Amino acid sequence: MSIKTEPMVVNIGPQHPSTHGVFRMRVTLDGERITDAEMVVGYLHRSMEKLAEERTWTQNIPFTDRMDYLAAMTGNLSYCLAVEKLAGIDVPERGQYLRVLFAELQRIASHAMANGTFVNDCGAWQTPLFYMFREREKILDLFEMVCGARLTLNYIRIGGVAFDLPDEFMPQLQALVDELPDRMDEYDSLLLDNEILLMRSRDVGIVSPELAMNASLTGPMLRGSGIAWDIRKADPYCVYDRMDFDIPVGHQGDCYDRFLVRMAEIRQSLRIIKQAMAQLPPGPFAAQVPLSLRPPAGEIYSRIESPKGELGFYLVSDGGPTPFRWHVRSPSLINLSALREMMVGQTVADAIVTLGSIDINVGEVDR
């Protein structure tokens, strides 16, 4: 007698604790093993790119907050850099340093969140997440101090930044910078040397360097595969060419490598923050920008290294007060494109870990 068997199709998401928002994976299972996977995006689509065509250049900055809401500062920065390039605006030096400072703080906050949720996906009962939240919270306090908002910051504006630093900012930042290396050592010993975490994420979700380049992966996904690529060095913006930092790269492109890269990047960001703090010049923090900005007709593509990868803006201006086309190259969406190759052949548990290691933000995937 033969037993009739059929593959089991399971919807992971859109409502699932580990899909980091409303992302859906339709996986076909043979027992616990994944034989096929399909990604379904679009549950958080807010039509930002179309809406942006009806709003002025300045009014569009809040949209960039709400794309990657865990890294609003870099979203602001990327868009403002693109508009400044298009309109030919020069940002004063202090503004540029402040941008670097806050972008790196945002990178730490975003990576802390990514690492925390990654270990959570590995099944650690939320403890690392809360530890990471503690550090992230201090950074959000700094953001709140300088611009009043914690998540959707709208701090970096066209021509510079919105506000100068308040007096109490620097001592608190200094305290954070002094404290963080010890914390990072603690996390290294808790997480990086943890055998279970190693067993769960080593050799899981391997992205070969070829696949990483062919799929146009960027950020920690690409660096985890061993390719030293960082837009802060390859195509420096703001004052990153004056900063001294290393690019952490992984060994074979598995989930553990991506985790290592993020952990190491937090330390590198800290180095950049220290340099920016030391070099921060006095002077104006923003250039004078006309209220109704009308960049000359033309198109521009500008990119930065956001915590998740290459965040680029392709803007087309017809000389009017609103963009003619407002397109985002969002790292989350493009990093997702390799997910199927990474997942097929693994178990369900691995799939969750793999997705967690990509560090997507559905707000940015769907826009």
Partner 1 sequence: MLARWYDFRDLGNGVARMAQALRDAGAPDGVVYALTALAGCLGILIFVGLTAIVNIWVERRLIGRMQVRRGPNRLGPWGLLQPVADAIKLIQKEVLTPRAADGTVFALAPILIFVPAMLAFAVLPWGEKMVLADLNVGVLYLLALGSTSAIMVFMAGYASNNKYALLGAMRVIAMLISYEIPSVLALLGVVVFAGTMQLSGIVQFQDFYWSWLIFFQPLAFLIFLLASTAELNRSPADIAEAESEIVAGYHIEYSGMKFGLFYAVELVNSMSVSAVIAALFLGGWWTFGLEEFVPGWMIFIGKLYAVYFLLIWFRGTLPRFRIDQLMALAWKGLLPLGLANVLLSALEVLIWQEYDVSAGIVLPIFAVVNFVLAGVLLVAFMRVMTRSFERLPKRARLVPDISVPLPGEPATA
Give me the residues that bind partner 1 (CB under 8 A), please. 8, 10, 16-18, 29, 31-32, 119-127, 130-131, 134, 188, 190, 192-200, 202-203, 208-210, 212-213, 225-230, 233-234, 246-253, 257, 260-261, 263-264, 347-350, 352
CB of 24 to partner 1, least distance (A): 14
CB of 222 to partner 1, least distance (A): 9
Measured from the CB atom, the residue of 156 and 197 that comes closer to partner 1 is: 197
User: Considering beta carbons, is residue 120 or 332 the nearer one to partner 1?
Assistant: 120
Cα angle, residue 217 at apex, residues 215 and 222 outer, rounded to 5°: 125
CA–CA dist 232, 161 (Å, integer) = 19
Q: Which residue has the tokens 């200094």?
A: 174
Smallest gap from Cβ 142 to partner 1, in A, equals 19
**Count, residues in the chain:** 367
Angle between helix 93-121 and helix 255-279 axes, rounded to 10 deg: 150
- What DSSP line would sit under 54-115, residue for residue? GS-TGGGHHHHHTTSTTSHHHHHHHHHHHHHHHHTPPPPHHHHHHHHHHHHHHHHHHHHHHH
- Nearer to partner 1 among residue 108 and residue 260 (C-beta): 260
Q: To the nearest whole angstrom, how small is the minimum distance from the Cβ of residue 365 to partner 1?
A: 19
**Of the candidates 33, 3, 20, 23, the residue with the CA atom closest to the CA atom of residue 350:** 33
Nearest approach in angstroms of CB 14 to partner 1 is 13
Other residues' Cβ atoms within 10 Å of the Cβ of residue 144: 13
CB of residue 173 vs partner 1: minimum separation in angstroms?
Answer: 21
Q: How far is CA 263 from CA 116, 203, 256, in A?
A: 11, 18, 10
* C-beta of 136 vs 367, nearer to partner 1: 136
Nearer to partner 1, 22 or 67 (CB): 22
Tell me the three state secondary structure of residue 267. Answer: helix
Query: Residue 8: beta bridge partners?
Result: 29
In this complex, which beta carbon is closest to partner 1, that of residue 6 or of residue 167? 6
Task: Output 35 or 126, the one with its CB closest to partner 1.
Answer: 126
The minimum distance between CB 33 and partner 1, in angstroms, equals 10
Which position has the token pair 């996390």? Answer: 187
